[in-house]
Amino acid sequence: MRPSSLLTSALLTGALFAASLSLGGCGGETSAPAEKSAAVAGERLALQPVTITDWKDVGALVTSVDMADARARIPGILDGLTVREGDMVRKGQVIGRVVDSRLGYEGAAYGAQAAAAQAQAAQADAELERVRYLHANGVYAQARLDQAEAQARAARAQVSAARAQQSAVGAVAGQGAVVAPSAGRVLIAQVPAGSAVAPGTSIATITSGPMVLRLELPETLADKVHVGSAVLATGLSDDKGAAPPRASVGRVYPAVSGGQMSADVPIPGLASTMVGRRVTARVAVGERQALVVPRRFVETSYGIDYVTIIVGKDATSRVPVQIAPTDDPARVEILSGATKGDTLIAVARGAAGK
């Protein structure tokens, strides 16, 4: 055989061998997609928009429905204050006393006037008895008797007037008691004993009425928040995993000040020890369409949230998404990264790392 024929046969044999190796390699890779599909098998979910409550984050203040002031009713010196901040008081309880030393002197003066009027009345009554006796015996005329009776009545009226003035002074002195206008907790009691006070001076501020969460709303929500709107008191829950207290708006204040309006939310069990605390809350302002999925379809790795989307027949893609919480702790809203029609798969923890 010629050398050229031998070279041609060798080249053909090498080409056939290489082709067989290539086909064998391709045949070994045909099982890879099936293995990948088996590795990511799990619960599937087709993304479709659903109607959810549209929540807005707002600030809120823990307070009581009203605030009552225990005020001084007369001028004088605050003789003492029997309560401090944080104390509980009942309606009508005396928590302090204002003393005006002039009232004592005025009372004594009116007392002396009453005693003098009483003496004059006694003298007038005695004179009336004498005139009646003489009139009966024909000594005095009827005119003299009428005069004596008038003098006796005037004397008795002076006694009544003096006693009324004395009682009025006593009543004014009694108004020196500082009385709690309502039952509640003392919030402010900063006037020290010995201070000079005028009528109307606030001695103590006391909570009045039930405790509420007062929402501070922008005026743009005036037509969206109404009595009965749902509220989530997110700032009152210390446990991050627990569902926040849920309530509803009980009262909306019509006034707008500085671009803000207020609404009260009664929450059972809200302690009066939290008055003045600022917290966050979420208020329902309507409904909207959103992509909501169970939390188990979302993985978190190094602070980034991911979902696994089925691409094609067997392939999957792990894509980052932006999520937001919903009113259900077990469900989240997908804001970006996945769209309507995508099919998610809940990958097991162990499978996710393969």
| CATH classification of the domain holding 112 | 1.10.287
Is position 154 within any domain? yes
Instruction: Look at the block and give the residue holding tokens 């501070």.
Output: 216
pLDDT of res. 134: 85
pLDDT of res. 346: 87
pLDDT of res. 96: 92
Instruction: Look at the block and give the residue holding tokens 């009966």.
Output: 136
> Are 263 and 251 a contacting pair, CB within 8 Å?
yes
What digits encode the pLDDT tens for the residues 307-319?
999 987 778 899 9
Is position 168 within any domain? yes
Check residue 18 and report its DSSP letter: H
> Are 234 and 244 a contacting pair, CB within 8 Å?
yes
Is position 114 within any domain? yes
Distances 36 to 22, 111, 135, 147, 315 between C-alpha atoms, Å:
23, 108, 136, 128, 7
Tokens of 92: 């009508």
Is position 92 within any domain? no
Count of residues in the chain: 354
Is position 106 within any domain? yes
Distances 211 to 76, 231, 268, 273, 274 between C-alpha atoms, Å:
34, 16, 8, 10, 9
DSSP assignment of 30-58 equals: TTHHHHHHHHT--EEEE---EEEEEEEEE
pLDDT in tens, the chain (354 residues): 444 443 344 444 444 444 443 433 443 333 333 334 445 567 889 999 999 989 899 999 999 988 899 999 999 999 889 999 989 999 999 999 999 888 777 788 888 888 888 888 888 888 888 888 888 888 888 888 888 889 889 988 988 888 888 888 888 888 889 999 999 899 999 899 889 999 999 999 999 888 899 999 999 998 999 999 999 888 887 666 677 888 999 999 999 999 999 999 999 888 877 888 899 999 999 999 999 999 999 999 999 999 999 987 778 899 999 999 887 888 999 999 999 999 999 876 544 444
Is position 93 within any domain? no
pLDDT of res. 349: 56
Is position 167 within any domain? yes
Alpha helices in the chain (DSSP H): 3-29, 32-39, 101-136, 142-174, 349-352
**β-pair partners for 331:** 294
Q: How far apart are CA 194 and CA 176, in angstroms?
A: 14
Q: How far apart are CA 157 and CA 136, in angstroms?
A: 26
pLDDT of res. 314: 74
Range of the domain at 142: 101-174
pLDDT of res. 14: 45
Is position 86 within any domain? no
Number of domains, the chain = 1
End-to-end CA distance of the chain: 58
